[in-house]
Structure 1
């Protein structure tokens, strides 16, 4: 395994740089889909197109059982400019692979290559899921791909996420919650505009919005069990056009996060109740639009048990750690199958060279590409052993 991974490393780096240079918007990953299919064609791996820009491929050997393991990679980029100076910088202005999905695509294609070479010896069927639009929180790709027949047939699913703050060579995998539920919200405040010098003639949406922001800050500290990790952040406040006019409206935006899916189900009611209290006290009309993103990503214990055996063989016993819980969201959580997500360390040796996910300077140590492939392939082999023992 190690020798073969070394042999394909330069190909993996070339693939990753191609995808990095050619990022595409959620739900518009047409060129990415085309390149994925071109590579699968070169390996004679059959596939279908799903969900507009997604791809599901199947590797089934003559000895493969009906047990199916799915391996998922997300394929979209973020709507932001790349500010770094790497030689494979984004060529698509306004878009960047700042979350590492270029890495995920590459690792899954490398996995396809290795597994296709082992096809006749495989004892399980492997599904490769190339999923669009993970970054589109309100309407992400997993919402649709999770219901595809080929996905529902999978006995379990695995995935990984490159993590630039974890040093390359390390991996994080543990059972239970690992990433947060990630919802967003909009508040629309309607008042009555007028002259800034005559506020008594108006119903001020700016004051109402300010009161709403401060009222929301008390939710986590006074309504939520302190043993639950929770975030409620107002991240945007839009209102008014000039210094001497009180506007008619205000628009607030924000996000909620938690690892507790039960608490997550209560957020909308809490936000609306607080808003209506503010509306009554300020004589404004406040409407809430709450957008559900992914639920908390919770790793299934049996899936993790297999993953730990595989990961320790690829990374080494001392390099597989319980990584800190992440408040970022991941729509892999939406899949109904038993599943687990591994954090793949991708950070450079020097910490000053590590930039977080979604940074315009984000990049990864490309030496970890072969480790990601190794983990996926080894996981399939360990899963086979479990099936044969049963």
Structure 2
């Protein structure tokens, strides 16, 4: 296809692992080599958020060759494909994110990234391949489902976020989307499992940067200074009391300080310091709470020492909250696709965040995890690791999950 400069060998991955193959229909099994090819082409050519031009070109090339209606250039590089059944009914959206990460890949595989410092280290290449396979299958089987399916190829999930601008561009309208589903390949679960739960599945995320301003001086004459390092150290310790003493212990929340920079010499008291952090929580009621507490603590400590500060604080993604009815649909499908009922992990949560949350705020839906790790194959590194990879058998499993969800959804939710 468009992205590959040379043929990509896929023979070693064209067979689906026996543990998942039994419940995958023959037509999707036959599509598996193509799914692997798409995924490897995308993996070799990762692109950062809002720069997914070649990725979008591959997608539109496929859609055009299949005669699928689509819109492109949404939120810069986003694409929406629409497939109508032969029978009218509700509208279901399926979301797939497209972007890579600013990571140098360390995997020694034929399909390793060809772009220095950029890598698909979170499975988005697999998400696009699964979505393309779903589009193709549904376009060839329009009599087998009811209603309309909109496939949303979304840019910039890793930041600054493409879901919200896609919604603002009207992707949930014309026709109006009734419900939405999506999946994330998940190396925290083994191949052949599905993680899904009603309610909050992923965390809301907020971020802050803060510059502290003191008064520098000689390390031997501290009384003439306002030590920005001492101020910063006290702030960092005090911020940990927010979760420990202000959050109900039955709730889950995290305040992490990831950066603290100050000083230039062993005998110089720093006149400024910089710190930044991330906040995570499941309960949407916490919106605004952490900003107030963080600002109050920083202000109080600075006042005690005569320092000043500049605080930049912003809300990135809200908590990802699944609708109970849509979770029931996905769970019922998963129980047909995974090897045993034990393969459905019912209380699968993570403090990681996802801008799929904005879609789920707009329409009821379900986002689920599809286990993709294979220890024997060496594909079990965590997400965002420079050696991240996954068992490509999960690609066919993802298409089967989406197709079955579409088929069940149209009948279950038709008027």
Which TM bucket (shorter chain)?
Answer: over 0.9
Q: Mean Cα displacement is larger for which, 336-345 or 237-246?
A: 237-246
Deviation at 1:28, TM superposition (A): 1.0
Deviation at 1:248, TM superposition (A): 2.4
Q: Which sections of structure 2, spanning at least 5 residues, go unmatched?
A: 1-23
Distance 1:61 1:2 in 2: 20
Query: Matches of residues 157-306 of structure 1 in structure 2 within 5 Å?
Result: 157-306=180-329
Query: Paired residue for 1:151, among 157, 163, 172?
Result: 172
Distance change in 2, residues 1:114/1:298 (3 Å): same
Equivalent position of 2:385 in the other structure: 359
Verify: 1:93 aligned to 2:119, yes or no. Answer: no
Equivalent position of 2:42 in the other structure: 19
Query: Matches of residues 127-138 of structure 1 in structure 2 within 5 Å?
Result: 127-136=150-159
Q: Deviations over 1:297-327 (max 9, x none)?
A: 1110111111122222222433222143101
Secondary structure, aligned partner of 2:316:
coil
Distance 2:171 2:204 in 1: 26
Deviation at 1:149, TM superposition (A): 2.4
Aligned length: 386
Deviation at 1:242, TM superposition (A): 2.5
Give the conservation status (yes or no) of the 8 Å contact 1:70–1:126: yes
Deviation at 1:62, TM superposition (A): 3.8
Equivalent position of 1:346 in the other structure: 372
Verify: 1:327 aligned to 2:348, yes or no. Answer: no
Secondary structure, aligned partner of 1:150:
coil
Deviation at 1:387, TM superposition (A): 3.2
Deviation at 1:353, TM superposition (A): 4.6
Distance 1:18 1:324 in 2: 31
Verify: 1:142 aligned to 2:157, yes or no. Answer: no
Equivalent position of 1:115 in the other structure: 138
Deviation at 1:351, TM superposition (A): 9.1
Q: Mean Cα displacement is larger for which, 53-62 or 94-103?
A: 53-62
Give the conservation status (yes or no) of the 8 Å contact 1:168–1:346: yes
Give the conservation status (yes or no) of the 8 Å contact 2:207–2:279: yes
Query: Paired residue for 2:80, among 44, 49, 56?
Result: 56
CA RMSD of aligned residues (A): 1.5
Give the conservation status (yes or no) of the 8 Å contact 2:379–2:388: no
Secondary structure, aligned partner of 1:359:
coil
Distance 2:50 2:262 in 1: 31
Distance 1:229 1:351 in 2: 34
Q: Deviations over 1:77-129 (max 9, x none)?
A: 11111112122111111111111111111100010010010124442111000
Give the conservation status (yes or no) of the 8 Å contact 1:12–1:110: yes
Secondary structure, aligned partner of 1:9:
helix
Q: Deviations over 1:46-97 (max 9, x none)?
A: 11110101001101134333x2100000111111111121221111111111
Distance 2:164 2:204 in 1: 14
Equivalent position of 2:125 in the other structure: 102
Give the conservation status (yes or no) of the 8 Å contact 1:77–1:101: yes
Deviation at 1:178, TM superposition (A): 0.8
Deviation at 1:197, TM superposition (A): 2.6
Distance 1:121 1:2 in 2: 14
Q: Which sections of structure 1, spanning at least 5 residues, go unmatched?
A: none
Query: Paired residue for 1:381, among 384, 387, 407?
Result: 407
Distance 1:61 1:261 in 2: 36
Secondary structure, aligned partner of 2:240:
helix
Secondary structure, aligned partner of 1:269:
helix
Q: Deviations over 1:228-253 (max 9, x none)?
A: 01100100011222223223221101
With normalisation by structure 1, the TM-score equals: 0.95
Query: Paired residue for 2:395, among 365, 369, 381?
Result: 369
